[in-house]
């Protein structure tokens, strides 16, 4: 048994949120040296120079407590959040559930957040690392889209990029922003923001659901291509349950290994619908270099993971980067960017 397997067995005896808090506190104390880098993994996306394409997805470091510590584990970038304008506690506990047999997690956290001000203070202490901010809307907000505009303005001088999270299944009504008229309103506000404020040059990404079906997905892709959105993250958690073996039936968003197939298919569709004209970030079920590479070959310029880290431990990041560099060179590519979308017809 590896050390992490032993540690995981202890952590899994605890409530998931308590185990997560212990992990965050541990990372605050640890000062790891940055691991080996690989030239073949370096790329420029959204005008940012990424040392490698593997990032930590939003949800792990919700309040920007350990963003740089995570990058020192080997991540090429870190995404904090989801952060809401005002602090809020999120949904009632328990709200995180492990599906061990599936190597999956169901969460219905509901954007528990310390709020914009606290996160901004912590971000101000970060040096040169690439750290994005994933922003959301307060549950009691009267206008979700205005919360996003406020977030873009608030973090535009501190974050490396901003992700607009309109796809969490745990805030009632939020996913309606992905659909037709509501999407138009949001994107129009973002377009107008760029016209009105010439100082806002930060890359803006949209995080979408794996559950969006053809008409709405195609419409979203068409609208994004004519907007000021700089990239798409595919995907958030799913409300589907047809891919799991566990009998643990809980409401919330499913992440981890069972999400890999559907999220990769959604990624592939989006790459086709956008003709490869906009950078994509592939998320969902990544727990190996092979799966990260499959995301890239299906259209991802970058990838993110979270649940895979819970089940496999911190060495997963170094292993993915090492093995990914081998896979790329084995296929005859000089750089990871050459492999983007090669399996999409």
Residue numbers annotated as active site = 168
CB-CB neighbours of 55 under 10 Å: 26
Per-residue burial over 145-176, b = 16 or more CB atoms within 10 Å of its CB, e = otherwise: bebbbbbbebbbebbbbbbbbbbbbbbeebbe
Strand 131-135 versus strand 77-83 pairing type: parallel
Distance CA 259, CA 254 (A): 7
Query: Which of 74, 73, 85, 152 minimizes the C-alpha distance to 116?
Result: 85
- Cα dist from 173 to 29, 144, 166, 179, whole Å: 39, 9, 10, 11
Instruction: Return the axis-axis angle of helices 289-297 and 260-273, rounded to nearest 10°.
Output: 20
Tokens 């219905």 locate to 108
3-state SS class at 132: strand
Name 88's bridge partners: 113
């Amino acid at each position: 048994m590896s050390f992490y397997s032993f540690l995981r067995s202890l952590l899994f005896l605890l409530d998931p949120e308590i185990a997560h808090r212990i992990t965050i506190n541990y990372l605050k104390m640890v000062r790891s040296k940055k691991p080996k880098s690989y030239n073949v993994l370096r790329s420029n996306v959204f005008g940012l120079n990424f040392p490698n394409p593997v990032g930590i997805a939003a949800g792990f470091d919700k309040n920007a407590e350990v963003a740089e510590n995570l990058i020192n584990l080997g991540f090429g970038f870190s995404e904090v959040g989801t952060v809401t304008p005002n602090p809020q506690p999120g949904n009632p506990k328990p709200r995180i559930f492990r599906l061990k047999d599936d190597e999956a997690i169901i969460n219905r956290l509901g954007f528990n957040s310390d709020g914009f001000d606290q996160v901004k203070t912590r971000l101000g202490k970060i040096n040169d690392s690439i750290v994005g901010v994933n922003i959301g809307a307060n549950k009691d907000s009267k206008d979700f889209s205005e919360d996003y505009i406020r977030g873009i303005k608030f973090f535009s001088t501190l974050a490396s990029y901003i992700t607009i999270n309109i796809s969490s299944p745990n805030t009632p009504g939020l996913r309606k922003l992905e659909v037709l008229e509501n999407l138009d309103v949001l994107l129009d506000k973002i377009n107008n923001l760029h016209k009105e404020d010439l100082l806002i040059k930060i890359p803006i990404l949209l995080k979408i659901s794996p559950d969006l079906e053809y008409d709405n997905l195609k419409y979203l892709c068409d609208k994004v291509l004519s907007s000021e959105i700089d990239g798409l993250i595919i995907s958030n958690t799913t409300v589907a349950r047809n891919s799991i073996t566990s009998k643990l039936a809980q409401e919330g968003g499913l992440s981890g290994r069972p999400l890999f197939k559907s999220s990769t298919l959604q990624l592939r569709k989006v790459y086709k619908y956008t003709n490869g004209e906009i950078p994509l970030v592939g998320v969902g079920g990544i727990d190996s270099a092979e799966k990260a590479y499959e995301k890239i070959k299906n259209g991802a310029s970058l990838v993110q993971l979270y649940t895979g880290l819970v089940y496999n431990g911190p060495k997963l990041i170094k292993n993915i980067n090492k093995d990914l560099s081998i896979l790329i060179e084995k296929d005859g590519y000089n750089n990871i960017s050459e492999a983007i979308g090669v399996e999409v017809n």
